[in-house]
Amino acid sequence: MDVLRYSPAADELAWTFGGVAPVRRVKPGTVLELWTEDAFAGKVRTTDDLVSRVIEFPFVNPLTGPFHVEGAEPGDTLAVHFVSIEPSRDWAASSTIPLFGALTTTHVTAGLQEPLDELVWLYDVDTVGRTVTFRARRTDDEVELPLDPMHGTVGVAPANLEARSSLVPDAHGGNMDTPEMRAGVTCFLGVNVEGALFALGDGHCRQGEGETCGVAVEAAMDTTVIVDVIKRVSTPWPRLESDDHLMSAGSARPLEDAFRIAQHDLVTWIGEECGLDPLDAYQLVTQACESPIANVCDPNYTVVAKIRKQYLPRLDAYAGAHARLKEMSAGYQAQRL
Amino acid sequence: MDVLRYSPAADELAWTFGGVAPVRRVKPGTVLELWTEDAFAGKVRTTDDLVSRVIEFPFVNPLTGPFHVEGAEPGDTLAVHFVSIEPSRDWAASSTIPLFGALTTTHVTAGLQEPLDELVWLYDVDTVGRTVTFRARRTDDEVELPLDPMHGTVGVAPANLEARSSLVPDAHGGNMDTPEMRAGVTCFLGVNVEGALFALGDGHCRQGEGETCGVAVEAAMDTTVIVDVIKRVSTPWPRLESDDHLMSAGSARPLEDAFRIAQHDLVTWIGEECGLDPLDAYQLVTQACESPIANVCDPNYTVVAKIRKQYLPRLDAYAGAHARLKEMSAGYQAQRL
Amino acid sequence: MDVLRYSPAADELAWTFGGVAPVRRVKPGTVLELWTEDAFAGKVRTTDDLVSRVIEFPFVNPLTGPFHVEGAEPGDTLAVHFVSIEPSRDWAASSTIPLFGALTTTHVTAGLQEPLDELVWLYDVDTVGRTVTFRARRTDDEVELPLDPMHGTVGVAPANLEARSSLVPDAHGGNMDTPEMRAGVTCFLGVNVEGALFALGDGHCRQGEGETCGVAVEAAMDTTVIVDVIKRVSTPWPRLESDDHLMSAGSARPLEDAFRIAQHDLVTWIGEECGLDPLDAYQLVTQACESPIANVCDPNYTVVAKIRKQYLPRLDAYAGAHARLKEMSAGYQAQRL
Amino acid sequence: MDVLRYSPAADELAWTFGGVAPVRRVKPGTVLELWTEDAFAGKVRTTDDLVSRVIEFPFVNPLTGPFHVEGAEPGDTLAVHFVSIEPSRDWAASSTIPLFGALTTTHVTAGLQEPLDELVWLYDVDTVGRTVTFRARRTDDEVELPLDPMHGTVGVAPANLEARSSLVPDAHGGNMDTPEMRAGVTCFLGVNVEGALFALGDGHCRQGEGETCGVAVEAAMDTTVIVDVIKRVSTPWPRLESDDHLMSAGSARPLEDAFRIAQHDLVTWIGEECGLDPLDAYQLVTQACESPIANVCDPNYTVVAKIRKQYLPRLDAYAGAHARLKEMSAGYQAQRL
């Protein structure tokens, strides 16, 4: 089992998917022990560190990577299994950002009102008790919320010769901001360029569905993934598999198009996997799916379509890649103890 | 405890919220034992009963009601507690409908492509085993799904002198099609006209989030609710309370506006309930909420914003109406045995 | 030639399409000499008359009508030819309204920012010089703009047993707010109920395309129309014919759906009128149409699709109804001098 | 007067804004005599040349450029004055493309219906008579339409380290597809990278507003522009100035956000130019603007906000750059005769 440990220096961070040279070349099946900086590039550390003051665009939402995965070619699928995602500091931060978020006018949902106040919230992170603590800024209230670490940004180089900001979710993955991207899950991404050029970042200690104010409980993360290549199988939009569910993630505006993409992909996927006629798959998904919103704040909005595997007549997604990678993950974790 | 049993004759069904005379006057606190016809007006009974053939618009999605609740006035809130929702037949039906649903052009997302095929699916309903059985139309596949009864359509007469089709969800409730509307939940609706004029219909044996093809597992229902009036408390958009969650339901197009309405209402509601500053409530909801999509097929789309009560610093929504109605429900059920 | 003069008393104004008894019954071919109150119900007369203070919802955007046109039945089309639209006062008013308009959050594009300031602008109306005068409120600037009178709200009773607020544009017409609705134009509306129940209001001395701030140069109007019935010809969405153009008006959210409806209707309409294959009509409209936005502030947004008649291979829309009504208009005007 | 003549070889075409090395360096004030290939890369020449057969993605919509304009730095504005745009062949082509266009489901407005038929239309182009001839494919109809040449795609390298497909319109310009981009107009674009990296392509002999089917009357063009740099004046979204109008072009989804961007930019721009308070500018634009839709088919939709200069109290946009460049254009054209 190849294991690569990699922690980027400040000047090794990437800010786009595409347009960046790989930091390492790895073989399929490699375990990557990675460190990711938080979305604020580590610059929001006190409640006085307002984003508009400490962040210089476009240097926000840094990525660790990209990694060139050997043998990955356009038309293949990259599988990324999340072995573990653990906060690397005992605090995390969130913030309002002027003209960003779902409950405000923005630069594109443009308006003439004054922006909302810019406030920073700092959270205590307890990795033993598995909680984060919200502290209200304008009253004395405190609430403990479950720690539920995830990565907001996971992707490969995009198609069409493009380079996209790390803030953007689209068919290449990117800043989807779905809480489903947690340890134990395998993410499948269509390969657009040789080597796939996988990168990730934007760790969240937890996030509500929609990331309403635009910012989650942002944290640096120690994250281990196993990357693999599934040859000659294409994946049009990001897909996830957990032990219990199949999921598709659509990203677009308006939000109904994100929903349509995710549903269309799930219907098509299970139709092919299970040998169902498209209209039968459409009917089954209609009655059986869950549709958690991921983000309604990024340049594209993201919705997940999700179905329990037990509701499918039969299933062998990506020839059992999730089960295989899970086994590798167990082997790696056993060996590490 | 006042109990009213009411089962509408075919010519007593209502097809709009507003514009219809009440079928009964009831006192606050009355238990209503109701029967609701299915959304097809009971006309889809075999796979040959195509909607385009057997349904004559606008006679679709019939309502039981409206009920004039005494003392309810504009500015008050109607509370509707769902005691039980049980399928009244051992079968249910679903269908594709030409130019209706999320994965097709429609009369408003207009296009020039041919409509999808019109197909009917019939489900077996097992109220003992608590399952419904999906049978594929074009292969031999069968899947058992959990029975999870709910009402798609629950509402009061709208504001602004309007009468709205029973197919429409909006601020008055209506055809929200959220699976959260199940037994054990209390629904809060702002009163727009004297007597509130509450009605309901569109029972579903179960429904995925989004009601993708436009039609759930449609069934006639035996449904018991308790109605109550909360005086001088207004409710801008439909709210639900379960034992564990507070929820707001926003309905609009595009889908992000449904999300915005639900989130804005939840942020405002818990801000007021918990004495949190709006920006603190915005932050807390951002990290703690769930955002299940309800429908992406009706004239307005619906999204629910949902937060666990345990994540709130303090709470006494509608002065404990949900707990009070739950107790009445328990009393009624005990008495009935 | 039947001529009916009608000016509603304050208590004869209508506030919805549908749900209102007709004020008069008229024969097809009748000339209606009408007066319409302004959208503020005449209550904004000084810059101190803030809408939030002087208007009590839903009593805004009053309608003159409805008129029962004899012989009009569902499946027919009502033709309304605008003979003349003239401001009946020498002033007009506009305003910002809190949480209303395109460049602000609203009750449905919900947000947490403070509303914009509420300001009233009064315009001088010069019906001889054919200008209105804009006076800035916060500087000394003045601009003369051409007088270009139109009706924002023109419609019939809606389908599906509904009653819709006069603020809503949809398939029944209503508050489309298109500057194309000016003298010399014929508007075609599908009939949904017996008698059609035609009403109109919301005169504008002029309006930009989109009605950005939500309010045009609002004025009471002396308006003359001729109404006619085209039997057994249905009209799915409002259409307009001028001497030079055919137009379709789509109303929906998001705005692209309003565009799609209007384009789909124009493509279908000219395809049928000209005997063009739908794809040929699609291609011709793609290269030849104009697409002025009507409103981006009302409960539905409205877009017009517009094509010069000279770009069509042949044409006889509604069997020449526009030309025929124009001739009647000329006859009426000649007789009146 | 510096004049550069440049016609790209096939392997010199660019397919993105950003991510491409400049083909030439030019001084501000240079006249560029350019040739642009058509959006089909010249591969659709008969009605048998179906796009799905002859085009290999992403090699569609080729750009001539980019040009490094000396001295242009982030925060400056690039002015591009269109001296002339003339079709370089006597024919042009249009097409339907499967799952592309406004009246069909697409890859993002995803659905399960069959795509529309793929058809090619060839147009005769008469540069003397100034017409193009539409010939229906499925009937014998022919229509002459006015020749009105324009460029669909005009832009600079984007911000945020991105490279964007030439099919995308956004703040950097790109594939806006507005018929307003015709000879005599000056286009202002905010500079994001050193040298601006200006490129253009996608000539249209004419185009309806919205580019409904997704494809205009596509043609190779001989186009002359003058480029200039306006130092230390930023431009957030593309702006155009003609002899009569100021215009802003917003690109986003949903379409109302494109409208909002354009309106917000025009309101802000004329507010600053004319010394009007933002709310007064909002009111004036509300009553005076035109809002032609540009495209409803590209990855972002585009709307133009347009106001007659005569309706503005005073004006000196970009310190008279349009008038100055027009004078240069006249000098160049005089010299050329």
Note the pLDDT tens digit of each residue in B270-290: 999 999 999 999 999 999 999
Pairing state between β B142-146 and B131-135: antiparallel
Structure-token pair, residue B109: 């997302």
Structure-token pair, residue D259: 């409208």
Mean of pLDDT values over C304-317? 95
Cβ neighbours of A259 in D, within 8 Å: none
Kindly state the percentage of chain A with pLDDT values over 90. Answer: 98
Q: What is the pLDDT of residue A1?
A: 87
Mean of pLDDT values over A328-336? 95
Q: DSSP characters for D194-232?
A: TTEEEEEEEEES---TB-TTS---B--EEEEEEEEEETT
Strand order in the sheet with D63-69: D24-26, D63-69, D196-204, D150-155, D173-174, D169-170
Mean of pLDDT values over C120-140? 98
Name the minimum distance, in Å, from the CA of A68 to any CA of chain B.
34
Contact C269, C249 (CB under 8 A): no
Name the minimum distance, in Å, from the CA of A228 to any CA of chain B.
32
- Does C21 contact chain B (CB < 8 Å)? no
3-state DSSP call for residue C124? Answer: strand
pLDDT, tens digit, 9 for 90 and up, residues D233-289: 999 999 999 999 999 999 999 999 999 999 999 999 999 999 999 999 999 999 999
pLDDT tens-digit profile, chain B (337 residues): 899 999 999 999 999 999 999 999 999 999 999 999 999 999 999 999 999 999 999 999 999 999 999 999 999 999 999 999 999 999 999 999 999 999 999 999 999 999 999 999 999 999 999 999 999 999 999 999 999 999 999 999 999 999 999 999 999 999 999 999 999 999 999 999 999 999 999 999 999 999 999 999 999 999 999 999 999 999 999 999 999 999 999 999 999 999 999 999 999 999 999 999 999 999 999 999 999 999 999 999 999 999 999 999 988 899 999 999 999 999 999 998 7
Contact C230, C73 (CB under 8 A): no
Chosen for mutation from B61, B107, B108 (greatest number of chain C CBs closer than 10 Å) is: B108
Answer yes or no: do C255 and D260 touch at CB < 8 A. no
Compute the distance between CA of residue B298 and CA of residue B301 in angstroms, rounded to an integer.
Answer: 6
In the chain, the amino acid numbered C123 is Y
Compute the distance between CA of residue A274 and CA of residue A149 in angstroms, rounded to an integer.
Answer: 32
Q: How many CB pairs under 8 A join A and D?
A: 93
Compute the distance between CA of residue D231 and CA of residue D318 in angstroms, rounded to an integer.
Answer: 10
Give φ, ψ of D306 to 5 degrees. -140, 130
If pLDDT is split at 50, 70 and 90, which confidence band does A80 have? very high
Chosen for mutation from C119, C180, C256, C312 (greatest number of chain D CBs closer than 10 Å) is: C256
H-run or E-run covering A257: helix A255-274
Structure-token pair, residue D314: 């005073």
Q: DSSP characters for B209-260?
A: TB-TTS---B--EEEEEEEEEETT---SS-EEE-SSEEEEEEEESSHHHHHH
Residue in A closest to D254 by C-alpha: A254
Residue in B closest to C112 by C-alpha: B264
Kindly state the percentage of chain B with pLDDT values over 70. Answer: 100
Whether the pLDDT of residue D337 is over 80: the answer is no
Residue in A closest to C102 by C-alpha: A111
ipTM > 0.95? Answer: yes
Facing residue for C165 by CB, picked from B107, B162, B282:
B162
- Does A143 contact chain B (CB < 8 Å)? yes
- Does A272 contact chain B (CB < 8 Å)? no
Facing residue for B252 by CB, picked from C57, C108, C267:
C108
pLDDT, tens digit, 9 for 90 and up, residues D67-81: 999 999 999 999 999
Compute the distance between CA of residue C212 and CA of residue C34 in angstroms, rounded to an integer.
Answer: 28
Answer yes or no: do A291 and B293 touch at CB < 8 A. yes
Answer yes or no: do C163 and B159 touch at CB < 8 A. no
Q: Whole-model pTM?
A: 0.98
Q: What is the pLDDT of residue D314?
A: 86
CA-nearest of A55, A4, A28, A25 to A224 is A4
End-to-end CA distance of chain A: 15
Beta-carbon contacts of residue D210 (< 8 Å; ≥ 6 apart): C259, C263, C286, C289, C291, C305, D102, D293, D294, D295, D296, D297
Answer yes or no: do A282 and B213 touch at CB < 8 A. yes
Structure-token pair, residue B135: 């049978």
Domains defined along chain B, listed by start: 3-336 (2.60.120.580)
Compute the distance between CA of residue C158 and CA of residue C191 in angstroms, rounded to an integer.
Answer: 8
pLDDT, tens digit, 9 for 90 and up, residues D121-178: 999 999 999 999 999 999 999 999 999 999 999 999 999 999 999 999 999 999 999 9
Contact C63, C173 (CB under 8 A): no
3-state DSSP call for residue D322? Answer: helix
Q: What is the pLDDT of residue D41?
A: 98
H-run or E-run covering A36: strand A31-36
Q: What is the pLDDT of residue A75?
A: 97
Query: What number of residues does chain A have?
Result: 337
Residues C150-181 as b or e (16 or more Cβ within 10 Å = b): bbbbbbbbbbbbbbbbbbbbbbbbbbbbbbbb
H-run or E-run covering B321: helix B321-336
Q: DSSP characters for D134-159?
A: EE-SSSS-EEEEE---EEEEEE---S
Compute the distance between CA of residue D157 and CA of residue A164 in angstroms, rounded to an integer.
Answer: 13
Strand order in the sheet with A142-146: A91-95, A120-126, A131-135, A142-146
Name the minimum distance, in Å, from the CA of B44 to any CA of chain C.
21
3-state DSSP call for residue B265? Answer: helix
- From residue D80, give the alpha-carbon distance in Å to each of D204, D223, D273: 18, 12, 20
**C31 class by beta-carbon count within 10 Å (0-12 exposed, 13-18 middle, 19+ buried):** buried
In the chain, the amino acid numbered D43 is K
Residue the block writes with tokens 């139709």: A271
Facing residue for B103 by CB, picked from A96, A102, A263:
A263
Mean of pLDDT values over C187-191? 98
Beta-carbon contacts of residue D94 (< 8 Å; ≥ 6 apart): C283, C286, C287, D120, D121, D123, D213, D215, D216, D217, D218
Compute the distance between CA of residue A215 and CA of residue A295 in angstroms, rounded to an integer.
Answer: 10
Chains that contact A by 3+ CB pairs under 8 Å?
Answer: B, C, D
Give φ, ψ of D56 to 5 degrees. -110, 115
Q: What is the pLDDT of residue B336?
A: 84
**A127 class by beta-carbon count within 10 Å (0-12 exposed, 13-18 middle, 19+ buried):** middle
Share the mean pLDDT of chain A: 97
Contact map slice: B 188-207 vs A, CB within 8 A: 206-207
- From residue B252, give the alpha-carbon distance in Å to each of B296, C78, C177, C301, D109: 10, 30, 21, 13, 18
The half-sphere exposure of B276 on its side-chain side, counting CA atoms within 13 A, is 28
Compute the distance between CA of residue C30 and CA of residue A215 in angstroms, rounded to an integer.
Answer: 62
pLDDT, tens digit, 9 for 90 and up, residues C25-40: 999 999 999 999 999 9
Q: How many CB pairs under 8 A join A and B?
A: 218
Residue in A closest to C255 by C-alpha: A254
3-state DSSP call for residue B286? Answer: helix
Q: What is the pLDDT of residue C136?
A: 98
Name the minimum distance, in Å, from the CA of C261 to any CA of chain B.
6
Compute the distance between CA of residue A247 and CA of residue A186 in angstroms, rounded to an integer.
Answer: 10
CA-nearest of D163, D150, D156 to D211 is D150
Structure-token pair, residue B330: 């328990």
